[in-house]
Amino acid sequence: MLRAAMTGAARSLARNAASVQPARTFTIAAVASAGSSSSAAAAHDDEEGGSFARGLFSGRIRESQVFPFPAATILNEEAKSTLQMLVDPCAKFFETVNDPAKNDETASISKEAWDGLKEMGAFGLQVPEELGGLGLTNTGYARLVEIVGMHDLGVGIALGAHQSIGFKGITLFGTKEQKAKYLPKLAAGENIAAFALTEPSSGSDANSIRSRAKLSADGKHWVLNGSKIWISNGGIAEIFTVFAQTQVPDRKTGELKDKVTAFIVERSFGGLTNGKPENKMGIKCSNTAEVYFDDVKIPVENVLGQVGEGFKVAMAILNNGRFGMGAALSGTMKAMLAKSAEHAINRTQFGSKIKEFGMIKEKFAQMALKIYATESMAYTLAANMDRGSNDYQIEAAISKVFASEAAWSVADEALQVMGGIGFMKAAGFERVVRDLRIFRIFEGANEILRMFIALTGIQDAGKDLKEVQAALKSPISNFGVLSQEATKRIKRIVGVGHDTIKGVHPLLRGPAGLVESQATAFGAAVDSLLITHGRKIIDQQLKLKRVADAAIDLYASVAVLSRATHALNSGAATADQEVLLATTFCEDAHRRIRRNIASLNGKTTDGSYARIADSIFEKGSYDISHPIGF
């Protein structure tokens, strides 16, 4: 029976497995293997313990990074009470000293606020205490940037560009000497840091940068030339993490090839200048500037990581920094919700408070669902990173995409609830809307991250398939040595059994069942994409987008289930509300996932979309005859 069932789908799967290779032309997809892939992951990240999102692509539910809710246990009592003590003064600072409207208007951070931030220790939140920082964990950092996000995203970016990406490379890859030399002044805010990757001709395609560093004749310096664009803190930073092409001998042939290398560059080296601050739509108080390098002499000891490994360094920094965005934006959303809820409760129209109207209620429910999911993912991610997991890059990308889009829609709807007042500057909504827009663009544009989520997952699923293929050639002799992963995969392919979520509270069994069935359907859909398209799947962007969207919804669903389970098990005061939020989220997500999966195989208008777009690009405009003829 089993054998017979295996013939159809399984055999064609196996046939195609060999042709599914990592897409080399798409650099972002290569990040998965260049960065911290599953093979490099901590012991904890084994088959069963690995990334939940990664497992999904093989139709698996790997619970250990999601259940029990990691954020609930990551802080011991002492860490918790210390963090609690930090929350109040941080909030008070933003309530009383910093003025976001003024920062926005003057496109600068007031001196009082800047000095206050320094004094508070806000520039070195995660720098080890012995190097002058606060030594916070990722969870601790997340909790504090949530407060920043509640009040002033411009300040958030100034602080984030400094420590979340600016000098993160030094903390992740720096030598002992580099850390000792740079971190104390950076932590004190005496020196500001920036992360300089983007160039005029190289944005999302970061591997294509043209800045170049050449080794000096005496081998003591790298001489850097080139320019960077839109560098946050570019005009005020002293320490730059800079990425440039370098000639590196190929390991096998010895032939020289261009490879990216990361450098720590001090403004004081000379030859580094910057353009004037960009005039931006939002996060105005955060400095953004071009940075130019003219024969900048960098001592060889200032290479960050290994020569030629710069792309890996850049991606690791960005991956590592993403959790903070989810936390900060959940703060932003909570602030927006609170302000608009006050209005909804008090504003009367047609003789009723507007909170009584169904369409207003729907908006607040949507806001709460989005906040709940954003928080759940951000803190799960931070906690997993704190536990030493290295296998989190898909989750980090999911969290970034979800948070940035959730915040955009929450701010938009909160403004809508306010009516005309929301459109007035004084109400403070339009600033937040402007500030939020950048989050979908930088630190990996959401389109790129969707490709990354889908391709990284699919690439992994493709690898698994090779093992399945080998086993299928002579099933009897090989089944015994198959990994658990591959065995389950085969079972699922032949339709016997799917994974269940074991850690979920009985009250949440219903929504958990929805997630389980969609996880299985998702795995099958990924397999079927591999069968149909093989490596050419990379060209099917709209299919990849649906895969990514389904993965995002699945991960978010599981994160909220885990959090609500924890609320129930710990007798949290808000447990009932959390069950409602989690259940509703899963039900909504279930419908979206089903639609996305269905349109992977079914009829779509994708082809028509491409033709419509192509006809536009031919003319460069909407060149359709006018309704009245002219």
Partner 1 sequence: MRVIVGVKRVVDFAIKARVKADKTGVVTEGVKHSMNPFDEIALEQGIRLKESGAVKEVIAVSCGPTACQETLRTALAMGADRAIHVPVEGAAYETLQPLAVAKIFKKLAEDNQANLVLFGKQAIDDDANQTAQLTSALLNWPQGAFAAKLSVEGGSKVKVVREIDGGLETIELNLPAVVSADLRLAEPRYASLANIMKAKKKPLDKKTPEELGVDIKPRIKTLSVEEPPVRKAGIKVENVDGLLQKLRTEAGVTF
Ligand X SMILES: Cc1cc2nc3c(=O)[nH]c(=O)nc-3n(C[C@H](O)[C@H](O)[C@H](O)COP(=O)(O)OP(=O)(O)OC[C@H]3O[C@@H](n4cnc5c(N)ncnc54)[C@H](O)[C@@H]3O)c2cc1C
- Using the rule CB under 6 A, which residue among 427, 445, 507, 598 binds ligand X? 445
278 DSSP 8-state letter: P
Contact partner at residue 92 from partner 1, ligand X, none, CB < 5 to 8 Å by partner kind: partner 1
Options 290, 375, 443, 467, the catalytic residue: 443
What is the rounded CA–CA span in Å between residue 548 and residue 440? 15
Shortest Cβ 89–partner 1 spacing (Å): 5
- Using the rule CB under 6 A, which residue among 68, 203, 513, 534 binds ligand X? 203
- Using the rule CB under 6 A, which residue among 83, 87, 300, 441 binds ligand X? 441
Shortest Cβ 283–partner 1 spacing (Å): 23
Closest CB to partner 1 among 90 and 150?
Answer: 90
Closest CB to ligand X among 193 and 383?
Answer: 193
Q: Is 27 in the site for ligand X (CB under 6 A)?
A: no
In the residue annotation, 190 being an active-site residue is answered as no
Q: 22-47 burial, b if ≥16 CB within 10 A, otherwise e?
A: bbeebbbbbbbbbbbbbeebeeebee
Contact partner at residue 325 from partner 1, ligand X, none, CB < 5 to 8 Å by partner kind: none
Q: Is 442 in the site for ligand X (CB under 6 A)?
A: yes
3-state secondary structure of 214: strand
Q: Is 468 in the site for partner 1 (CB under 8 A)?
A: no
3-state secondary structure of 252: coil
Closest CB to ligand X among 139 and 274?
Answer: 274
Q: What is the torsional sign of CA 539, 543, 548, 551?
A: negative
225 DSSP 8-state letter: E
Q: Is 197 in the site for ligand X (CB under 6 A)?
A: yes
Shortest Cβ 195–ligand X spacing (Å): 5
Task: State CA 500 to chain mean position distance.
Answer: 27
What is the rounded CA–CA span in Å between residue 520 and residue 58? 8
Residue tagged 């509640």 (tokens): 150
Q: Is 119 in the site for partner 1 (CB under 8 A)?
A: yes
Distant-in-sequence, close-in-space partners of 532: CB < 8 Å, separation ≥ 6: none
Q: How far is CA 585 from CA 54, 71, 257, 367, 371, in A?
A: 21, 20, 49, 11, 11
Shortest Cβ 364–partner 1 spacing (Å): 25
What is the rounded CA–CA span in Å between residue 440 and residue 449? 10
Distant-in-sequence, close-in-space partners of 504: CB < 8 Å, separation ≥ 6: 67, 512, 561, 562, 565
Q: Provide the mask over 571-610, with x wherever binding to partner 1 is found by CB under 8 A and - wherever it is not.
A: --x-------------------------------------
Shortest Cβ 228–ligand X spacing (Å): 6
Q: Is 121 in the site for partner 1 (CB under 8 A)?
A: yes
Total residues binding partner 1 (CB under 8 A): 21
3-state secondary structure of 217: coil
Footprint of partner 1 on this chain (CB under 8 A)? Answer: 78, 81-82, 84-86, 88-90, 92-93, 119-122, 125, 129, 134-135, 144, 573
Footprint of ligand X on this chain (CB under 6 A)? Answer: 161, 195-198, 203-204, 230-232, 280, 288, 438, 441-442, 445, 447-448, 451
Residues assigned a catalytic role: 443
